[in-house]
Structure 1
Amino acid sequence: MSAVDTSRKPRVLVPVCNRQLGDHPFHIVGKKYIDAVRLAGCLPVIVPNLGGATEVLDDWLALADGVFLTGSPSNVHPSHFEEDVYNPALPLDPGRDALTLPLIRRAVDMGLPLFAICRGFQETNVALGGSLHQAVQEQPGLADHRAPEGQPPQVAYGEQHAITVLPGGRLEALLGPGAVQVNSLHGQGVNQLAPGLRIEAVAPDGLVEAFSISPARGFSLCVQWHPEWQAAGNPTSMALLQAFGRACRDYRDQVRQPRHDFKTDPET
């Protein structure tokens, strides 16, 4: 049996969003997320919306050394946490839901490294049995976490508030204790935290800003802010991405079985 090829970059699945552009449907993923996976030292593998059937997931997961869940303008459909749509004007992406929700559960079961941002953070909570506030700004005691309207990206993705990193967790191990300044561009947020999730950081109003998955055998970190924005110049973002990249390399080297790319049986 051949050894694992440690020279190849770890392959990271990046599920896409679905968008109608003119008369044609498109699969879309932001360049900043692809760049973030590359900064982690990994090879992004873009996963189109082919649904969450077991055989489809098996095919994708057979390639994977990690999973990276992006943010998106769309929200998780509230039917997945037994609520009706609160604001029909907000975008939804049921095709992405159909792929990512079962993919998350399978990835966690397999021990695949998982890094999730914004929508990915929210869909991980929903996939594992939690629920969301559909309008955080309307909840008593919670602030408005949405981006300032009508501003260019440099302003919208600027630092908006501090988060408190809770002691004893994965995030503290990566960033150290205390507070970290983050951006804030979300209208939804964690309501009921899914069983088995560990809160890693909170906003000043107490809203969950980061969690890890306690039962997961592999690396897991889900954050509500956008560390992918100008990540190369942000030490906090780079610390998170590099930790994810190390976990993906460890999975490639220690967990994944050696792959046979060519048949060598003389009878074939």
Structure 2
Amino acid sequence: MSAEKHGRPLVGVVCDRFFVGEHDQHGAKHSYVRALMSGANVSPVLIPASLEIESVDDYLDGVNGLLFPGGASNVAAHRYGGEASRDALSDPDRDHVALNLIRGAAARGMPILAICRGFQEMNVAFGGTLHADIHASGHSEDHLEDLAEDLSTRYRYRHEVELTPAGMLSTLANAHRVRVNSLHRQGVAALAPRLVVEARAPDGLIEAYRLNGHDFALGVQWHPEVMTQHDALSRSIFEAFGASCRRYRHAAQPATNHHEG
């Protein structure tokens, strides 16, 4: 795998590892792939989740950005010193790959977009902690997914978030408040020192942050990937991510190739 220099930037999408019947599989939802292609104008490639991957450097060498999508499982409590929830799904293979990729990408200045589970991974990767269950921790907003609902209903706007003045998201949205489709059980307890708050829910829960001093390393608790066709901020997030991936690719090229626009 190599990052194509003259076509679209390549963006790695971290997979979940799960069973379908008796078959052990790796996969990511098409909504993320579609949003990357149509919103960010990049070419997605899937990165498997496996404890057998000892080094992520080959993957980082081959892509111009990384997307960490949502998933059914939660980040394992031992990763942030918390107490395990017996009814929570886990994916230790994804934890292993995702946390190492986030740290490696940040060290290289590579663009990162982290959504839902990815948002939680990003906080843990830099030393933050999580609430295993935000409702048990006293947060009032309804963030839980109802699997009995059809997808369009399930991913509807849930509540407003207040955007940090002069932050990345408030600049993209040209607004102080926006409505979001936030669905999750885990949430930020202690924010990692390197992260800067970009949005909060009405109950005070952090819903977005960025990595300080980075061109584009954004985590959002909601799901912009399903809203890019009709939500302006969702599309702007993917467009800004794609633009950062192109800048990263351009900066990584040898000086003799810098004639590309």
Same topology, TM > 0.5: yes
Q: Radius of gyration: which is bigger? A: 1
Query: What is the TM-score of this pair, normalised by structure 1?
Result: 0.89
SS of the counterpart of 1:98?
Answer: helix
Distance in 2 (CA, whole Å) between partners of 1:117 and 1:141 is 20
Query: What is the TM-score of this pair, normalised by structure 2?
Result: 0.92
In structure 2, the residue matched to 1:243 is: 240
In the alignment, structure 1 residue 42 sits paired with structure 2 residue 42:
yes
**Higher deviation after alignment, 136-145 or 17-26:** 136-145
Task: Select the residue among 246, 250, 254 that pairs with 2:251.
Answer: 254
Alpha-carbon shift at residue 232 of structure 1 (Å): 2.1
Contact 2:51 2:92 (8 Å CA) reproduced: no
Give ranges in structure 2 of 5+ residues lacking alignment.
none
In structure 1, the residue matched to 2:20 is: 21
SS of the counterpart of 1:71?
Answer: coil
Q: Which amino acid aligns with 2:45?
A: V
Task: Select the residue among 214, 218, 222 that pairs with 1:221.
Answer: 218
**How many percent of aligned residue pairs carry the same amino acid?**
36
SS of the counterpart of 1:192?
Answer: coil
In the alignment, structure 1 residue 81 sits paired with structure 2 residue 80:
yes
Check 1:70–1:259 CA distance in 2 against 1; reply closer, same or farther (3 A cut).
Answer: farther
SS of the counterpart of 1:200?
Answer: strand
- The aligned length equals 254
**1:210-265 CA-partner distances (Å, limit 9, x unpaired):** 0000043x3111100000014222211111000000000111112344799xxxxx
Distance in 2 (CA, whole Å) between partners of 1:68 and 1:10 is 13
Q: How does 1:1-268 map to 2 (within 5 A)?
A: 7-39=6-38, 40-51=40-51, 56-86=55-85, 88-148=86-146, 150-216=148-214, 218-257=215-254
Give ranges in structure 1 of 5+ residues lacking alignment.
261-268
Q: Which amino acid aligns with 2:47?
A: V
**Higher deviation after alignment, 8-17 or 230-239:** 230-239
**1:175-219 CA-partner distances (Å, limit 9, x unpaired):** 123110111211111000001100000001110010000043x31
Contact 2:82 2:129 (8 Å CA) reproduced: no
Distance in 1 (CA, whole Å) between partners of 2:256 and 2:25 is 32
Distance in 1 (CA, whole Å) between partners of 2:83 and 2:246 is 41
Check 1:165–1:105 CA distance in 2 against 1; reply closer, same or farther (3 A cut).
Answer: same
Check 1:150–1:50 CA distance in 2 against 1; reply closer, same or farther (3 A cut).
Answer: closer
Check 1:129–1:5 CA distance in 2 against 1; reply closer, same or farther (3 A cut).
Answer: closer
